[in-house]
Amino acid sequence: MNEIEVKNVSFTYPGDETNPPVRALDGVTLEIEKGSFTVILGHNGSGKSTLARIICMIDSPEYGSVVIDGRDMTAEDVTDKDVLDARRKVGMVFQNPDNQIVATIVEEDVAFGCENLGVPSDEIRRRVDEALETVGMTKYARHAPHKLSGGQKQRVAIAGVIAMRRECIIFDESTAMLDPMGRREVLETIDRLNEDGITVVLITHYMEEATRADKVYVLNEGRVLTSGTPSEVFSDPETLWKASLDVPQTTELLYKLKQRGLDVPLDVFDPEKCAKVIRDALKKKKAENGG
């Protein structure tokens, strides 16, 4: 079942005296299945954050519709309660961890969103403990957030969203400002949430992060350039290169070898497996050429 359907959505930022209007999305259609892991790729300005805000219903589409759990949120008979219910299903984690911290103690920060929702305090206590456990930050519960590393701060931000019991979480380049270790910590956390049944939408420009997805959408100039499984999308590196996007390093290497006549697949993303595929192909070629 689809948790979220975006149908032919367009969105324009109105201009002002100095700036012309910007058409940020132009007929975008996508489907996000419940419990799935979706990655949205695209270079700067391709419309990713605008799309995220529309899925979260922070902004409304100019044209097209957004369907959450089967309910068309752009239908005429949608009530405020419908919108509120739908908003409560989808949470968002942003790029800059510092902008998301609101309290001076980690556990208070994690509790903040629940307090705004009016969750009873003993229930908040339970949810905060559980959320900190999920992101591996239990022992920092009484720490000051500003002293944590970037990756730890993002995990605190994620805990806040989990505590609000979101069914779907959109990560808008949430790993972009982190060092490699912070990125790994946050990605492991995201993977775990998805294993626990949370629908994940990961917006990124790191191609390697996209290989874990069930489905990848590539945005370019406000349109879906291509979509499919990581194997499908990365098997056509030319399309991505034309849109000034990279492909995973393994894909690029395999593609170049294939062009030189080596019989290798393109969709091997693990470096060890990639090395093995190349070794095997070289052996085979050597045998064919008479050893």
Residues that bind Mg ion in the complex, under the rule CB under 5 A: 48-49
Site map (CB under 6 A) of ligand ADP, residues 37-76, x = contact: -----x-xxxxxxx--------------------------
Task: Choose between 52 and 253: whose C-beta lies nearer to ligand ADP.
Answer: 52
Please state the closest distance from residue 49 (CB atom) to ligand ADP, in A.
3
What are the Cα distances from residue 57, in Å, to 45, 54, 74, 87, 232?
20, 5, 10, 7, 30
Applying CB under 6 A, the site for ligand ADP has a residue count of 11
Q: For residue 274, what is the DSSP state?
A: H
Nearest partner of 7 among 55, 42, 77, judged by Cα: 55
Q: What are phi and psi of 151, to 5 degrees?
A: -65, -40
Please state the closest distance from residue 43 (CB atom) to ligand ADP, in A.
7
Q: What are phi and psi of 36, to 5 degrees?
A: -90, 170
Which of Mg ion, ligand ADP, none has residue 220 at its interface (CB below 5 to 8 Å by kind)?
Answer: none
Task: Choose between 49 and 227: whose C-beta lies nearer to ligand ADP.
Answer: 49
Q: Is 151 in the site for ligand ADP (CB under 6 A)?
A: no
The residues, any chain, with a CB within 8 Å of residue 269's CB and separated by 6 or more, are 208, 211, 230, 234, 248, 250, 251
Task: Choose between 235 and 239: whose C-beta lies nearer to ligand ADP.
Answer: 239
- Binding to ligand ADP, residues 234-273 (CB under 6 A): none
The pairing of strands 90-93 and 168-172 is parallel
Which of ligand ADP, Mg ion, none has residue 99 at its interface (CB below 5 to 8 Å by kind)?
Answer: none
